[in-house]
Amino acid sequence: MKRSVRISILLFLLVLGNLLALSGCTIKAVQLNQRAQLYYDHQRYDEAEQFLVESLEIDYENSASHYLLGKIFALRGKTEKAIYEYSLAVRFSPTMELAQMAYIMALYKDGQVERSVEAAGTYLQYKGGLASDMVRQAENFAEMEMHPHAVVAYKRAQQLEPTNVEPTIQLANYYGRRGERDMEIASLTEALMADPYYPGVARRLGELGQKVDLPDPVLYESRPGVNRELSEIE
């Protein structure tokens, strides 16, 4: 057997061995997580924590492990440790919605409002989706009295669909419910500029004491040069 062939075979076996070893580690980590979840469900948090620690020693970038460990710390009132574990879960899996929301809520409840709003903005950037999804998220934040977060979600809805006036109308409605008249007027004015004929916007601005000058309807004219071309034919 040629030396180059033997080397290739050895390299293949080495890579295969590493893959199998990693696969075994991953399976072991999953099994430990499953045990941790079982003990967590039965409120046996000490045992659950121990299984999670063992799992993370095998697979430190497992977001599920960090998230569940964060929940255990949160239940024990260890807020700083919970926030740290949630942040790791988010770092390793930015699209993990449960971890993102837990991280945002933990920061907010800890009084770290600015960091919480920043985390919400990052989460919504990763989340994507339709403007209507972001509006629903904004409404959820509003129901939880997390108003800076709600505004971020409404703004994200506007970014996702710039030509859709509805998110701006919903933002105006939000400000209206909160009695923030100046912001309601600003949002309605923004909506009117984007679509002067959107039903009800001009009327609402008038009711809020704003003078509204609607533009004249656009008249579609024939293409330049059409009349000249027709005269040449005649």
Structural domains in the chain, sorted by start:
27-116 (1.25.40.10), 128-212 (1.25.40.10)
208-216 average pLDDT score: 75
Q: What is the pTM of this model?
A: 0.76
85-100 average pLDDT score: 94
Say yes or no to pLDDT of 99 above 50.
yes
Q: What is the pLDDT of residue 145?
A: 96
Tokens coding 153: 């979600």
Q: What is the pLDDT of residue 27?
A: 83
Say yes or no to pLDDT of 101 above 80.
yes
17-43 average pLDDT score: 74
115-124 average pLDDT score: 96
Q: What is the pLDDT of residue 5?
A: 44
Banded pLDDT at 79 (limits 50, 70, 90): very high
Banded pLDDT at 37 (limits 50, 70, 90): very high
Q: What is the pLDDT of residue 17?
A: 40
H helical segments located in the chain: 3-41, 45-58, 63-75, 79-92, 97-109, 113-127, 131-143, 147-160, 166-177, 181-194, 201-207, 226-233
